[in-house]
Amino acid sequence: MLKFVAVALLLTVFVAVGEQCCTPRQWESFVGIEETKAVAGKIQVTGSYAIESYDFDRKKIALVYPETGSRQVQDYGKGLLYMITGGQCYTNPWPYSMPRCIPDNATAIATFEMGGPDGLMVEQYDLSNFLPGFHGYMQFTMPGCLPVSQTQYYDSYVTIFGFTNITEGIRDPSVFDIPSPPCPRDMDNAVEPLLFRHVQP
Ligand SMILES: *[C@@H]1O[C@H](CO)[C@@H](O)[C@H](O)[C@H]1NC(C)=O
Ligand SMILES: *[C@@H]1O[C@H](CO)[C@@H](O)[C@H](O)[C@H]1NC(C)=O
């Protein structure tokens, strides 16, 4: 009997360790965005913010930028990115898989307690674990696996996203709507670098 209990306990521990840490299936967050770039040998810093809606059931992530009225929809089911701005809509390929869980083979490169005793426990990972080919870091609360921050390096750009006030569920699913008639796939070269600043490796 004792032996049986010991085996049962071991199995329980094994299952718990094998479980992946994932974000909720639906959540929303206020996202602070800071972008630093080199312009003619000087750094230029711009701050903005967005409301992010993450929906694993719809396989979509929407970012609404209240300051400019623009909206971005990443459609992981179709592999397309939609940019809706100033009454225009553009699409681009978006061939990534939707990040949700911390992969089994990812290892935390640092663990912090933000703010000190009874502070927020945070683990930091290399961004390439979630978005292959991207350079930077991603931080999650531990336990909980809610995103805390994402830092991306690309060429002469550094973009930092800070996630705050995360709530579960989707308040207004219309953030995921795509305008009709369908967006032109054709994107002019002037818009492309602007769009990809935030998102490409
Ligand atoms: C983890 O596994 C995936 C899929 O097998 C692989 O593409 C990726 O490079 C691995 N990551 C690490 C950090 O080993
Ligand atoms: C974040 O949540 C706090 C507490 O509910 C609230 O006071 C604050 O206004 C919220 N901030 C934003 C930017 O939504």
Residue 109 lies in a domain: no
For residue 175, how far is its CA from the centre of ligand 2 (angstroms)? 20
For residue 105, how far is its CA from the centre of ligand 1 (angstroms)? 6
Q: Which residues contact 61 (CB under 8 A, 6 or more apart)?
A: 52, 53, 54, 55, 73, 74, 76, 98
Length reported for the chain:
201
Q: Whose CA is nearest to atom 5 of ligand 2?
A: 165
Nearest ligand 1 atom to the CA of 104 is 1
Q: Per DSSP, what are the bridge partners of residue 123? A: 111, 140
Residue 142 lies in a domain: no
Range of the domain at 20: 2-101+155-195
What's the Cα-to-Cα distance from 77 to each of 60, 81, 148, 163, 174, rounded to whole Å?
Answer: 8, 11, 25, 24, 17
pLDDT score for 20 = 83
pLDDT score for 79 = 92
Confidence grade of residue 155 (pLDDT, cut at 50, 70, 90): confident
Q: Per DSSP, what are the bridge partners of residue 61? A: 54, 74
Residue 182 lies in a domain: yes
Residue 130 lies in a domain: no
Confidence grade of residue 17 (pLDDT, cut at 50, 70, 90): very low
Residue 139 lies in a domain: no
> Which mutation among 96, 105, 127, 131 tests ligand 1's pocket best, with the greatest number of atoms within 8 A of CB?
105
Measured from CB, residues less than 6 Å from any atom of ligand 2 are 30, 165
pLDDT score for 184 = 67
Q: Whose CA is nearest to atom 4 of ligand 2?
A: 165
Mean pLDDT within 133-147 = 92
Tell me the two tokens of residue 15: 């299952």
Confidence grade of residue 185 (pLDDT, cut at 50, 70, 90): low
Residue 120 lies in a domain: no
Q: How many domains does the chain have?
A: 1
Measured from CB, residues less than 6 Å from any atom of ligand 1 are 103, 105-106, 129
Residue 35 lies in a domain: yes
For residue 200, how far is its CA from the centre of ligand 2 (angstroms)? 30
For residue 127, how far is its CA from the centre of ligand 1 (angstroms)? 12
Q: Beta strand pairing status for 80-85 and 42-55? A: unpaired
Q: What is the pLDDT of residues 78-100, one digit of tens each?
A: 999 999 988 788 888 888 889 89
Please say whether the beta carbons of 120 and 146 come within 8 A: no
Mean pLDDT within 108-126 = 94
For the cut 90, the answer to whether the pLDDT of residue 67 exceeds it is yes
Q: Whose CA is nearest to atom 14 of ligand 1?
A: 105
Q: What is the mean pLDDT of the chain?
A: 83
Confidence grade of residue 35 (pLDDT, cut at 50, 70, 90): very high
Residue 201 lies in a domain: no
Confidence grade of residue 146 (pLDDT, cut at 50, 70, 90): very high
For residue 132, how far is its CA from the centre of ligand 1 (angstroms)? 9
Stated pTM of the model: 0.80
Span of 6-15, 38-47, 108-117 with lowest mean pLDDT = 6-15
Please say whether the beta carbons of 168 and 26 come within 8 A: yes
